[in-house]
Each structure stands twice: as C-alpha cells, then as structure tokens.
C-alpha cells in the first residue's frame, strides 16, 4: 500500500491522533439491548432523518462535537441505492465550516497500524445495496474547520454523486460518547 499522499493527507494524518483513537473506540459492536427493567435515559429519541435524491437515500448523517480549535473531524452517513444502476459518491464540501472535505478510507496495514487514505475515485454504491460511512472505515474528513462543532447542532455538507447530482445533508453533531 504505497499510495502517495497529498499535502492535505499528510496534514490530516498528523493532526487527528485523538480522532483516530475515538474512531477506534466507537468501532466496537453495538451493545445488546438493555434489560427492560432499566429506566429509559432522559434522552429523547431523535426522529430518523432521511434524505432522498434520485434513487439514493441518505440516513444516519452525523459527526461529533469538536474541542475548541479542533481543525479536523470525521463525518459519517449511510447511502442506499434503490436504483438499477450503480452511482458514485464523488466528493463533498462544507464551505461554511470546513476548508475542504475529503473522502477517506481507514484501513489496517500489514503490521496492524491503522491509517487513512483518500479515495480519489470516490465510493461506488451498487444498485440494491447500502454503503455505510462509519467509524473505522470510509468517512468524510472535514479539514480546516473554522468553528467548533457543538453537540445538538447540525453541520450542512453537500454531497456530490455522479448520477444523482448534489444534495445537502445536515450532519447531526453528536456528543462524545462517555468512555
């Protein structure tokens, strides 16, 4: 795996050691359902936000709150293609909040080191399939944030698809999960 790195990638790799750790932490399998006796936590279930363009349905669009002066973070979402042809996520932008948004993939090297690399050809969503951008895998890398991301707010990101076109989706800003 010797993909040459762009200057942006280098910057991205150098900065978010904490992002990487948190991403790994969030990668654990979901916990089994809580026993019914346990009282519900006072966190209202947010309605599931779903966005459609053409044959595509976007859901679970989310990112995390950032520390003050944090300059990079990752965004996640799920894309479903109900069409009969493949489509491709070419890229994204968040001009109000980030200097650039790159499509990255996280993978493990032969010696077990996690690393990120850009996906210059985008991400294909096969017909009838669902692709999840999720911690530990493919993600949107928001680079050069000009504001602190606050939990409970949203961050609009414009997604560009090869066939379906462009769609702006608000990423829900989530609080850091307690460790």
The site for Cu ion (CB under 5 A) is made up of 104, 116, 141
- Secondary structure (H, E, C), 73-140: EEEEEEEEECCCCCEEEEEEECCCCEEEEEEEEEEECCCCCEEEEECCCCEEECCCCEEEECCCCEEE
Query: Residue 57 or 65: which CB sits closer to Cu ion?
Result: 65
Q: In this structure, are strands 165-174 and 56-64 parallel, antiparallel, or unpaired? A: parallel
Query: Residue 101 or 141: which CB sits closer to Cu ion?
Result: 141
Least distance from Cu ion to the Cβ atom of residue 23, Å: 9
Least distance from Cu ion to the Cβ atom of residue 75, Å: 10
- The CA distance from 31 to 177, in Å, is 13
Least distance from Cu ion to the Cβ atom of residue 131, Å: 16
Query: Residue 15 or 53: which CB sits closer to Cu ion?
Result: 15
Contact assessment for residue 81 and residue 55, using Cβ atoms and an 8 Å cutoff: yes
Query: Residue 80 or 104: which CB sits closer to Cu ion?
Result: 104
Least distance from Cu ion to the Cβ atom of residue 15, Å: 10
């Amino acid at each position: 795996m010797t993909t040459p790195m762009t200057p942006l990638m280098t910057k991205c790799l150098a900065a978010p050691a904490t992002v990487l750790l948190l991403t790994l932490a969030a990668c654990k399998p979901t916990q089994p359902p809580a026993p019914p006796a346990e009282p519900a936590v006072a966190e209202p279930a947010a309605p599931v936000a779903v966005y459609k363009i053409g044959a595509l349905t976007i859901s679970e669009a989310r990112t995390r709150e950032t520390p003050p002066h944090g300059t990079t973070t990752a965004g996640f979402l799920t894309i479903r293609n109900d069409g009969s042809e493949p489509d491709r996520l070419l890229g994204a932008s968040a001009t109000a909040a980030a200097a650039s948004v790159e499509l990255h993939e996280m993978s493990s090297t032969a010696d077990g080191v996690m690393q990120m690399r850009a996906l210059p050809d985008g991400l294909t969503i096969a017909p009838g399939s669902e692709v999840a951008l999720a911690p530990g895998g493919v993600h949107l890398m928001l680079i050069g944030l000009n504001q602190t991301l606050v939990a409970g707010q949203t961050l609009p990101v414009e997604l560009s698809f090869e066939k379906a076109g462009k769609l702006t989706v608000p990423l829900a800003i989530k609080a850091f999960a307690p460790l």
